[in-house]
Amino acid sequence: MAQEKLRKEETLAMRNRLIGQSCRLFYSEDPVKIVRARGQYLFDENGKRYLDCISNVQHVGHCHPAITKAAAAQMDVLNTNSRFLHDNIVLYADRLAATLPQKLCVFYFVNSGSEANDLALRLARQYTQHEDVVVLDHAYHGHLMSLIDISPYKFRKLAGQKEWVHVAPLPDTYRGIYREDHPDPGQAYADTVKDLIEDVHKKGRKISAFFAESLPSVGGQIILPQEYFPKVAEYVRSAGGVFVADEVQTGFGRVGHHFWAFQLQGDDFCPDIVTMGKPMGNGHPLACVATTAEIAGAFTANGVEYFNTFGGTPVSCAIGLAVLDVIVEEDLRGNAVRVGAHLKDLLTKLKARHEIIGDVRGVGLFLGIELVTDREKKTPATEADQICVSTDGPWENVLKFKPPMCFGMENAELVVQLQKHLTLTLQIITERSMCNINQKFISTNLPKTLEE
Amino acid sequence: MAQEKLRKEETLAMRNRLIGQSCRLFYSEDPVKIVRARGQYLFDENGKRYLDCISNVQHVGHCHPAITKAAAAQMDVLNTNSRFLHDNIVLYADRLAATLPQKLCVFYFVNSGSEANDLALRLARQYTQHEDVVVLDHAYHGHLMSLIDISPYKFRKLAGQKEWVHVAPLPDTYRGIYREDHPDPGQAYADTVKDLIEDVHKKGRKISAFFAESLPSVGGQIILPQEYFPKVAEYVRSAGGVFVADEVQTGFGRVGHHFWAFQLQGDDFCPDIVTMGKPMGNGHPLACVATTAEIAGAFTANGVEYFNTFGGTPVSCAIGLAVLDVIVEEDLRGNAVRVGAHLKDLLTKLKARHEIIGDVRGVGLFLGIELVTDREKKTPATEADQICVSTDGPWENVLKFKPPMCFGMENAELVVQLQKHLTLTLQIITERSMCNINQKFISTNLPKTLEE
């Protein structure tokens, strides 16, 4: 195909030679070479089509023409840095502000969710003048040094836990310390944070921030119990800290009825800082920190400039604006509600027939299926790679779905059909990740002519 | 103009309200609104043209059509993450490898120079299993928390110096501790690093890395004395550390005869890690770490994945490849040699007539003019804003030039002419930065029709 410049073996040999191996290929024993994509479909070098269940970055669909058009048009006109006055950055910030509680009205544009979380940590510390951070168990907030420190998922394998980091239990009502049968798991889990803060104070230390994904993703596609965030925010603020909602994976309407996943915790709940990233530029490196005027003011008041070379350029913001337009024009939030509910319903029906499915959970197009070998004991079915691969959660036994938002009803049905048959009639890619790769997808032999 | 969606006052009001003020606007008392750009020229909302002397990011010229075309073509086909096998990333790594010493053969693609330097620090520590870092005085390596720690330019204003950071004197032969009259300033400055390492060892600490820009930029557009890097590398490696060359500002042919500025230190000199960023994507968020197979191997061996969501996507790499093509096709390195030499020559002649010019230095299109009120005492002329504003260096008295690489002979002459006249006949924007903004440019009243 025209999109292929090298034979696959040659690409693979060059990859192994030239690219750092710390980033593993998908299906590293027999890597897939994808040469083009459109909507929710990927195509390999032989034209074989794959249904993409995991690319949450390509939020409005792979290679959406409206995004390409907006990017190319702005690239042709201007792409300076954000020290120049420009309309795009302010129009984009204004549009984002309209999706958020009024209090979150100041924006910093950066290039990745990791840069956003690093800046959020700086903002929290500058504002509170405290150092310590509370995070959820199994959390992952990014690849930078500062973020490995606040990511139990990473620091347990690396440098270990810093004295200023405190890990609260993951509020997982399926297999956590408080479960479905608890009368008020939101309050109970929030109390664990309250207790942790008291311990921190006894050590003479002070809390700068509580960091959490609005729906813990690496933690296992967890839906938090109601009232957890508002209660935690109350305790954290009482301790002089701020509440940081990491929406890098979950924002921009993925959960359907709400634009942000933290809004699932009630209309009155408002974080002090929200970080966003992956879906924001549909693949373009674009991320952001939103915060209050007070926190931003404290950061400005230190008198030291924060400048991000590529953050908030006219091109990045043109792309960001185009993504917001497509979400509205194609009613992708409505689609997430409808298709997500249908898929969840189909999976729940599947659960009735298959003992291995311990739990089906999620909201909108953010879904998880937890596989177990024993429903009573909830033993993680880590090696159950006949259905599909365990892909997330502490035991890597949570199969997750976070497809492009244009995922359709027929796609949902195909996924369930594939799993229902538990056969290899339709090829299911099932290689187990060697190093905690969190994403898998399903390949089908559907005729490639279906696409366009 | 069509490119303007809001009146300037409205843009400014929204900017002040919505965007974090820690990123200051250029000329904040009367900000310039730029709505389009091409080559080395910027245009404001009234069509007024500005000659851009400082945008080193837009390396091959603003809005180069070949870059836009390459980006749009790839955006239309595929833009997945680098866990999928793809030709662009390996072809791009291969092209970069051809510009570097053979030893630097493994690449990690990221989204900003800051992300690159953060990763370089991780690589150095993982490989050496040491913690401490030696940096040059006045250095700036990025905005992330880990990099503020190794940037004296920032940490002196913020959290202060960490116990694992050690600051070596800036090898500035104009106003440093060893000057032009020293018989061997390269050796003398390298010895300061040797002494520093000995002090570190006496404290029972160990060196992981020496970090330096190949031409210190925030430090004042410094050209390092010969033999400095090779000698320092010898001492650092003897201590079990690695040598990191930060080429974020200086790479990709800006210095003309060499593709990388570290190559000014001799053909035999090879760093252990090279970081690159700003000019790499001509404005697209693209950066990279190049290192040896040994260092990359140690990083892989820890078994923990490093995954960068947007790093090395097919679009980023297509843009990177197009930038490399334009550098060659338009002989921009040759242009940097010719125009840079001509500009330096004109500025040197200017120096003969103006006492305020203490030093003219630089190589290729990376030039600095150091302004002084007394040539003997080298008193920094910090407030000499009649010529232009001091823009870099510890005393902000170094006027710097790092224009797009298509900067022409006539542009060089215009710059000098403007400075020679020391008048306001042609408008010279001279506002002094409030917070160490490092970049200024010169506005002219040249007819806008000159462009295209």
* pLDDT at residue number A419: 59
pLDDT reading at A266 higher than 90: yes
Contact B97, B107 (CB under 8 A): yes
**Cα of B178 to nearest chain A Cα, Å:** 30
User: DSSP 3-state assignment of A109?
Assistant: strand
Cα torsion A3, A9, A15, A18 to 10°: value is: -110
A219: pLDDT confidence band, cut at 50, 70 and 90?
confident
Are B86 and A143 a contacting pair at CB < 8 A? no
Taking alpha carbons only, the member of A252, A269, A374, A256 closest to residue A319 is A252
SS (H, E, C) B160-182: CCCCCEEEECCCCCCCCCCCCCC
- Could you tell me the residue ranges of all domains in chain B? 8-63+331-450, 65-329
Residues of B in contact with A296 (CB under 8 A): 20-22
* pLDDT at residue number B151: 96
* pLDDT at residue number A389: 35
**CA–CA dist A298, A303 (Å, integer):** 9
- Give exposure, B298-328, as e/b (b: 16+ Cβ within 10 Å): bbbeeebbbbbbbbbbbbbbbbbbbbbebbe
- Amino acid letter for position B352: A
> Which residue in B75, B146, B211, B396 has the most chain A C-beta atoms within 10 A of its own C-beta, making it the best mutation to test that interface?
B75
pLDDT reading at A451 higher than 70: no
DSSP B431: P
Residues in CB range of B325: below 8 A, 6 or more apart: B66
Residues of B in contact with A312 (CB under 8 A): 19
> Which residue in B8, B18, B21 has the most chain A C-beta atoms within 10 A of its own C-beta, making it the best mutation to test that interface?
B18
Contact A44, A33 (CB under 8 A): yes
pLDDT reading at B30 higher than 50: yes
Segment among A89-93, A170-174, B385-389 with least mean pLDDT: B385-389
* pLDDT at residue number B391: 53
Residues in CB range of B174: below 8 A, 6 or more apart: B180, B358, B359, B361, B370, B378
* pLDDT at residue number B194: 98
Residues of B in contact with A86 (CB under 8 A): 11, 33-35
> Which residue in A5, A27, A54, A75 has the most chain B C-beta atoms within 10 A of its own C-beta, making it the best mutation to test that interface?
A75
Are B90 and A146 a contacting pair at CB < 8 A? no
CATH superfamily of B8-63+331-450: Aspartate Aminotransferase, domain 1 (3.90.1150.10)
A448: pLDDT confidence band, cut at 50, 70 and 90?
very low
What residue of A is the nearest CA neighbor of B315? A284
What residue of A is the nearest CA neighbor of B122? A145
Mean pLDDT in chain B? 88
* Nearest CB neighbour to A299, from listed B22, B26, B83: B22
* Nearest CB neighbour to A68, from listed B15, B76, B91: B76
pLDDT reading at B442 higher than 90: no
pLDDT tens for A67-86 read 999 999 999 999 999 999 99
Name the percent of chain A lying above pLDDT 90: 71
Are B8 and A85 a contacting pair at CB < 8 A? yes
B383: pLDDT confidence band, cut at 50, 70 and 90?
low
Taking alpha carbons only, the member of A269, A296, A255, A276 closest to residue A101 is A269
Segment among A57-66, A290-299, A424-433, B361-370 with least mean pLDDT: A424-433
**Cα of A355 to nearest chain B Cα, Å:** 32
Are B55 and A80 a contacting pair at CB < 8 A? yes
Residues of B in contact with A94 (CB under 8 A): 14, 18
Contact B252, B327 (CB under 8 A): yes
pLDDT reading at A439 higher than 60: no
* pLDDT at residue number B274: 98
Contact A121, A133 (CB under 8 A): yes
Give B264 or B424, the one with higher predicted confidence. Answer: B264
**Cα of B226 to nearest chain A Cα, Å:** 31
Residues of B in contact with A32 (CB under 8 A): 84-85
What residue of B is the nearest CA neighbor of A66? B76
* pLDDT at residue number B234: 98
pLDDT tens for B299-328 read 999 888 899 999 999 999 999 999 999 999
Cα torsion B341, B438, A311, B84 to 10°: value is: 40
Give A383 or A275, the one with higher predicted confidence. Answer: A275
**Cα of B326 to nearest chain A Cα, Å:** 16
* Nearest CB neighbour to A306, from listed B23, B90, B285: B23
Name the percent of chain B lying above pLDDT 70: 89
* pLDDT at residue number B110: 98
| C-alpha B295 chain-centroid distance | 24
What residue of A is the nearest CA neighbor of B298? A22
pLDDT reading at B31 higher than 90: no
Give B399 or B345, the one with higher predicted confidence. Answer: B345
**Cα of B368 to nearest chain A Cα, Å:** 21
pLDDT reading at A438 higher than 50: no
* pLDDT at residue number B418: 62
* Nearest CB neighbour to A20, from listed B106, B316, B437: B106
Please tell me the class of the A65-329 domain: alpha beta
Residues in CB range of B148: below 8 A, 6 or more apart: B142, B154, B155, B158, B159
* pLDDT at residue number A426: 25
pLDDT reading at A450 higher than 50: no
pLDDT reading at B386 higher than 70: no
* pLDDT at residue number A1: 40
Name the percent of chain B lying above pLDDT 90: 71
* Nearest CB neighbour to B306, from listed A3, A143, A306: A143
**CA–CA dist B403, B388 (Å, integer):** 16
> Which residue in A6, A81, A87, A437 has the most chain B C-beta atoms within 10 A of its own C-beta, making it the best mutation to test that interface?
A87
* Nearest CB neighbour to A296, from listed B20, B33, B278: B20
ipTM exceeding cut-off 0.90 for this assembly: yes
pLDDT reading at A444 higher than 60: no
* Nearest CB neighbour to A68, from listed B3, B72, B154: B72
Total residue count of chain B as it appears in this document: 452
* Nearest CB neighbour to A112, from listed B24, B82, B115: B115
Give B125 or B443, the one with higher predicted confidence. Answer: B125
Residues of A in contact with B320 (CB under 8 A): none
Are A106 and B77 a contacting pair at CB < 8 A? no
A31: pLDDT confidence band, cut at 50, 70 and 90?
confident
* pLDDT at residue number B113: 98
> Which residue in A17, A21, A55, A79 has the most chain B C-beta atoms within 10 A of its own C-beta, making it the best mutation to test that interface?
A79
pLDDT reading at B426 higher than 50: no
Are A33 and B113 a contacting pair at CB < 8 A? no
pLDDT reading at A421 higher than 90: no
**Cα of B285 to nearest chain A Cα, Å:** 6
pLDDT tens for A102-138 read 999 999 999 999 999 999 999 999 999 999 999 999 9
* Nearest CB neighbour to B146, from listed A83, A145, A284: A145
B446: pLDDT confidence band, cut at 50, 70 and 90?
very low
**Cα of A178 to nearest chain B Cα, Å:** 30
* Nearest CB neighbour to B20, from listed A154, A283, A306: A306
User: DSSP 3-state assignment of A254?
Assistant: coil
Stretch B52-68: mean pLDDT: 94
Are A20 and B94 a contacting pair at CB < 8 A? no
Residues of B in contact with A90 (CB under 8 A): 6, 11, 14-15, 18-19
Give A303 or A193, the one with higher predicted confidence. Answer: A193
- A-B CB pairs within 8 A amount to 338
* pLDDT at residue number B389: 36
Give A190 or B448, the one with higher predicted confidence. Answer: A190
Phi, psi of A360 (to 5 degrees): -120, 125
* Nearest CB neighbour to B285, from listed A90, A154, A310: A310
A2: pLDDT confidence band, cut at 50, 70 and 90?
low
* Nearest CB neighbour to A435, from listed B32, B75, B305: B305
pLDDT reading at B181 higher than 70: yes
Name the percent of chain A lying above pLDDT 70: 89
pLDDT tens for B101-137 read 999 999 999 999 999 999 999 999 999 999 999 999 9
Residues of B in contact with A93 (CB under 8 A): 14, 18-19
Are A157 and B304 a contacting pair at CB < 8 A? yes
Stretch A423-444: mean pLDDT: 30
* pLDDT at residue number A115: 98
Are A58 and B80 a contacting pair at CB < 8 A? yes
Mean pLDDT in chain A? 88
